[in-house]
Amino acid sequence: MEVYDLILKNIAKHISLDESEQSYFCSLLTSKQLVFKEFVLMEHQSCQYFYFVNRGALRAYFLNKEGKESTIMFALKDWWVTDMHAFVKGQPAMLNVVALEQSEILRISKTNFDLLLKELPKFEQFFRVIFQNAYIREQLRTIQNLSLTAAERYENFILKYPAVIQQVPQKQIASYLGITPEFLSLIRRRRTEK
């Protein structure tokens, strides 16, 4: 059960499970080891899983028609990630999700996810909290993108996601912030000169 320790602690932040409920939940998961740059999801594919990062780091990004990548989110250890629209609606994925380093994920299929919600309704509460937090994060990000300078967005990013700064290449942080890597380097240089 050691492989499930982290995900069970993640769930325990919001709901309580007895041993049989924990066992049932864990029986619905599969574990997967990822190598650097391995994709767990590619755009236009069917999105069959909701992923939990047990170890490592993943990145979800959108690729526009010109081939420019826009990072939508990072997922480090103890974070959840998927293409939510594709997962919930059964639509082809719009996002690519790739390992930024050797990683281990736990995943629950859409079929097992629906079964879990039916068999253990308390997971409705857990995932409601997860989805609400994700919605709030994206709403705040949109407002910040519209109202703050790039330097201010970077400062907020550092405060909110200090672990990401340590694990993720600057080029991808720039992509998340909607700026060029060169401009991020300039912001960082100015920041250190203060």
Q: Report domain extents, the chain.
A: 2-121
Looking at residue 165, its pLDDT comes to 87
57-63, strands of its sheet edge to edge: 39-41, 96-99, 57-63, 69-76
Q: Tell which residue, 89, 81, 84, 29, has the closest CA to residue 59.
A: 81
The DSSP H or E segment spanning 29 is: strand 29-34
What average pLDDT is seen over the chain? 94
pLDDT at 101 over 70: yes
Task: Judge whether residue 38 has pLDDT over 90.
Answer: yes
Q: What percent of the chain has pLDDT over 70?
A: 99
How far is it, in rounded angstroms, from Cα 73 to Cα 82?
10
Instruction: Assign a CATH topology to domain 2-121.
Output: Jelly Rolls (2.60.120)
| CA 20 – CA 64 distance, rounded (Å) | 45
Whether 85 and 30 have beta carbons less than 8 Å apart is answered as no
Of 178, 165, 161, 148, nearest to 61 (Cα)? Answer: 178
Q: Radius of gyration (Cα) for the chain, nearest Å?
A: 18
pLDDT score of 1: 62
CA-to-CA separations, 79 to 74, 113, 144, 164, in angstroms, rounded: 9, 17, 22, 12
**Model-wide pTM > 0.85:** yes
Task: Please tell me the predicted confidence (pLDDT) of residue 143.
Answer: 94
- pLDDT at 192 (0 to 100): 84
Q: Confirm if 58 and 100 have CB atoms less than 8 A apart.
A: yes
Residue 35 confidence (pLDDT) above 90: yes
